[in-house]
Structure formats: C-alpha cells, structure tokens
C-alpha cells in the first residue's frame, strides 16, 4: 500500500492501446495485461486467470470486465475480483496517463 516503494514504468502511448483490446507488457518478470476500456480509461491486471492461468490480455472486454479466453471466468478490471459464481482475485496495478503516455505503478 505504500506508493513510495512503487516505481512508475512507461509502456508507450495511449494510442498503442486499441479500445476494448488487451496488450501484454512484461515488467520485472511480471506479465501484465493492459486494457483501454470504452470510457477511454486504462486498466492493468496480472495476465493470469486464477482458475487455470489463462492469458487475460486475450479475453473479450466488456465494460469494466474481461472474460478469460480459456474458460470464460469474468473478472472485474477495477478490483481484480472474479465474478460469481466463481471466486478468486487477480492483482491490479495502478495506471496513470500523462500527455498520452501510459505509466504503470509496480
């Protein structure tokens, strides 16, 4: 929770992120799925479904949710929670966009 210990990493321009589509970025050995949702906001979560490690970046994005491409688990991109009737959680990362540049705090 201590933001002082986190570093901000630049991962490119917001226009590299097409709407409703995930992209993958590797930071410090961690694989992160980055999404630009329809509102224009950017969300970042661990690229690994808690069910069977599905790559979330390849899932269908609807509103603030992504559906895992392997077994269709529905995951909230804001808090990382897997939606009922399934359970589980993925790590979420803070995203900042300044001058069209996208930064992830890790």
List residues binding another protein (CB under 8 A).
8-12, 16, 18-21, 23-27, 34, 38, 50, 52-55, 58-63, 65, 67, 69-70, 72, 74, 84-85, 88
**Closer residue to another protein (CB): 68 or 92:** 68
State how beta strands 60-62 and 30-36 pair: unpaired
**Closer residue to another protein (CB): 8 or 94:** 8
Query: b/e string for 40-50 if b means 16 or more Cβ within 10 A?
Result: eebbbbbbbbb
Q: In angstroms, give the least distance from the CB of 59 to another protein.
A: 7
**Residue 105 CB coordination number (10 Å):** 14
Task: Answer whether 60's CB lies under 8 Å from 38's CB.
Answer: no
**Closer residue to another protein (CB): 36 or 92:** 36
User: Helix, strand, or coil here: 66?
Assistant: strand
Q: In angstroms, give the least distance from the CB of 2 to another protein.
A: 21
């Amino acid at each position: 929770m201590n933001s002082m210990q986190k570093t901000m990493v630049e991962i490119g321009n917001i226009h590299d992120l097409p709407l409703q589509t995930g992209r993958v970025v590797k930071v410090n050995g961690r694989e992160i799925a980055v999404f630009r949702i329809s509102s224009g906001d950017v969300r970042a979560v661990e690229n690994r479904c808690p069910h069977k490690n599905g790559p979330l970046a390849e899932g269908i994005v609807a509103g603030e949710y992504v559906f895992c491409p392997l077994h269709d688990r529905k995951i909230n991109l804001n808090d990382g929670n897997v939606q009922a009737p399934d359970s589980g959680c993925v790590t979420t990362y803070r995203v900042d966009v300044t001058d069209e540049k996208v930064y992830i705090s890790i």
